[in-house]
Chains A and B, each alone.
Chain A
Amino acid sequence: MKGFRWLVIVLFLLVTLVPFLWLILASFKTSSELFSAPFKLPEHWSWDNYRSVLESHPIPKYFFNSLILAVSSTILAVAIATLVSYAFMYKFKFKPGLLLLITFGIFIPTNAFLVPYYFIVNWIGLYDSLAGVALVYAGVSLPLSILIVKTYMESIQHEILEASFIDGASVHRTFFNVILPISYPGMTTASIFLMITAWNELLFANLLTQSEGTRTLQVAIRFFLSTFSANYPVAFAAMVIAVLPTILIYSLLSEKIIGGLTAGAVK
């Protein structure tokens, strides 16, 4: 049984790690090496591809833009999701219908709303600004954030709320001093999902930005894989740069993600 467990672990590691290791190896190769011997080690380990990435385009600027977008849209969406989830801890009229309406957003394909999103962002004067993209990211990911945070809040004993009110705390004070501090695992889980999604997003970043000052890292990677020239090793180097933060976030906070996902599973 133990042997089988290890076999599954090794197979899983092969499936998940090998493509990533191959990507890293390929980012050190030349184009001809990559296509003549895709699975061999590079003949000469050189940072040339990474140097090309950093010298040809202002990658640190794009990196910073992606970071700002990921962080600001996540803060906005999680803040709203937390407030909404707290409201759902109380009883009020049409609660089930409202919840259904809010979470129904998960099933709506975002591509169907490209034109309205573009029109609205342009109309409020936020086209080609990070603020416009952040608002769209926050809006698109709101149903999922609410679902995650609400699921976590549901696992909180209702007696805590009652005890807080008996001690004289108001609805707001109960939220800030009682519910918020114990909801952070749910909020962290939602934040991680949202940050990774925002970091990797390409469709809206492409649609709603235009100039160099607002370009994100994911859009910039396309510079190395355009229709008229595709330098894969250099593109792979750019991809490694782009993928590192998400791996870092996941590795550091994986326990919180699992904790947040399983919270509320057993009451």
Chain B
Amino acid sequence: MTRKSKWLGAGASLVLAASLVLTGCGSKSGDAGSSPTGSASSSEASSGKEIDLTMLSSWSTDTERGKALKTIVDKFNQENAGKIKVSVDINPDWPSYQEKVKTMIAANQTPDLFNYNFNPNDLSRQQSGKLLDFTPYMDAEWKARFSEQDLQAMTVDGKLTSIPFEKAGILFYYNKELFTKAGIAEFPKTWDEFFQACDKLKAAGITPISLMTADDAWHTTNAFTYLAASIAGTSVFEPGKSLDTPEVAKAAEYLKKLFDNTTPDALGGNYSVSSNNFLTGNSAMIIDGPWLIGSIKEDMASKIGVAAAPTFGDGKVQPGFTVTDAYTPWAAGVQKDKNKEQAIVKFLKFMTSEESSKTFTLEGHILLSTKLNLSADEANKSGPVMGQYIQTNSKSPESIVNIVRTLKPGAISKLPSIIEKLALGKASPEEFAKELQAANQ
């Protein structure tokens, strides 16, 4: 062997060894399907073998909803042993997970099953042509599980590519002990009473409300949506409508007033800072969804009250109306194999059944779009705060989706900084409305 060929041989061996080591290191623990599209299992399905479905989710089993999902999936797998197996792959970071799903769709590798935040201003997923259309499978029995309004909302270009699932009401949580200390007997019914209550709380040395401006400024946008809807009705943020209106500016004016009633760390604070201020008794109120309940400590639970929002009492909205989070539906990738497609539908029917919905609501504290009849006893058994939540939420006569879930992606990312400018007095309410409209173009 010549010296040159020796070097080439040695080089080739090195590359081979390196690739072997890398491939060896990459071996999986086998807890999930490896093919994101599931194409590998299509031949298995037709040959009568177990159909593998891979479900992407951000619901870690550290959370109540993650545990509830695991219970449902385990039960389904047990009932369909040898036929269908659903594996859940968890990606706990919701924004990264959303980005990943979009990337997978763009790369033509749509996941078997996934959930996402429905945004009428961003229909890229639905219009990709890579989502399974459930319309042929929507028989009378399955259809009866949902409201016509929710099914309509999920129908894009005549195709039902997403199954309505989560649509949580956002309500006012308040600390009854701090309210009593400030001499407030009951939760305010009008916004005027609300700001009077804030003054009383401040006079008693209590910070009235938790707000935040980091990330999606969630607690603040809940407040803003409630204010805007109270002023202009629940259609205020409908797609196509201008946001540069006197009503939106008026809501911004009230929001600015709300910032005089919050904690100093609200500016720049994130969800955790804001919610922990309420959960540790640093503030008297917070506006949030049912997932907050899982973080309320036992000794605190008896002090927490849940209430519907105040109104201006002028009939623009009905008392008891709610702001809701976005629809978070489930969707599936288009399948080449009919058996696999049917397996997906079978699983989604199981997941949206009355029994599964009960598990999700009572154990996972998730409020669903699916119809659910809970007795007062069942509602109360889910805990003192959850019981109040379910009762208040179920009385909602109308609702509006939080503004941060309905804007265009560019405006969503700009909204927190526009809110900060308003709070710091660097933008007037009118400028706030103008900037918001410009960002949403």
Contacts and interface: CB of A to CB of B under 8 A. Distances in A.
B107 A115 contact: yes
Contacts of A35: 273, 276-277, 279-280, 282
Given A126-B26, A226-B63, A114 B103 contact: yes
A229 B36 contact: no
B413 interface: no
A53 to B, nearest CB: 11
Interface string A71-89: 0100110000000000000
B235 interface: no
Contact of B294 (A76, A222, A229): A229
A36 to B, nearest CB: 6
A149 B56 CA distance: 41
Interface in B55-77: 56, 58-60, 62-65
A134 B63 contact: no
Contacts of A134: 22, 25-26
Contacts of A232: 272, 276
Interface in A51-83: 56, 61, 68, 72, 75-76
Contacts of B139: none
A72 B55 CA distance: 30
A210 B36 contact: yes
Interface in A184-233: 202-203, 206-207, 210-214, 219, 222-230, 232
Interface in A242-263: none
A223 B96 CA distance: 13
Given A128-B32, A129-B27, A56 B103 contact: no
Contacts of B26: 126, 129-132, 134, 214
A226 B93 contact: yes
Contact of A36 (B58, B104, B108, B280): B280
A261 to B, nearest CB: 28
A213 B27 contact: yes
A135 B21 CA distance: 12
Contact of B28 (A129, A135, A226): A129
A172 interface: yes
B100 A207 contact: yes
A226 B18 contact: no
A32 interface: yes
A76 to B, nearest CB: 7
Contacts, number: 144
Contact of B89 (A56, A118, A211): A211
Contact of B295 (A68, A129, A229): A229
Contact of B58 (A75, A128, A226): A226
A86 to B, nearest CB: 13
Interface string A150-171: 0000000000000000000010
Given A128-B32, A206-B96, A228-B294, A75 B18 contact: yes
A31 B295 CA distance: 11
B363 to A, nearest CB: 14
Contacts of B59: 228
Contacts of A129: 23, 26-28
Contact of A127 (B36, B94, B96, B277): B36
Interface string B11-44: 0000000110111011111111011100000000
Interface residues on A, range: 35 or more
B131 to A, nearest CB: 17
A212 to B, nearest CB: 5
Contact of A202 (B25, B28, B96, B279): B96
Interface string A109-120: 000001100110
Given A128-B28, A227-B58, A122 B36 contact: yes
Interface string B104-131: 1011110000000000000000000000
B65 A228 contact: yes
Contacts of B92: 219, 222-223, 225-226
B15 to A, nearest CB: 10
Nearest to A126: B26
Given A212-B31, A229-B62, A118 B107 contact: yes
B280 A128 contact: no
B277 A213 contact: no
B107 A119 contact: yes
A218 to B, nearest CB: 10
Given A134-B25, A214-B28, A228-B63, A206 B280 contact: no
B3 interface: yes
Contacts of A222: 92-93, 96
B62 A211 contact: no
Given A210-B89, A212-B32, A223-B92, A72 B22 contact: yes
Given A114-B103, A132-B26, A229-B294, 4 more contacts: A36-B282, A127-B34, A211-B34, A230-B275
The 4 closest A-B pairs by CB, nearest first: A213-B29, A129-B26, A211-B32, A131-B26
Interface of B: 3, 7, 18-19, 21-23, 25-32, 34-36, 54, 56, 58-60, 62-65, 89, 91-94, 96-97, 99-100, 103-104, 106-109, 271-273, 275-277, 279-280, 282, 291, 294-295
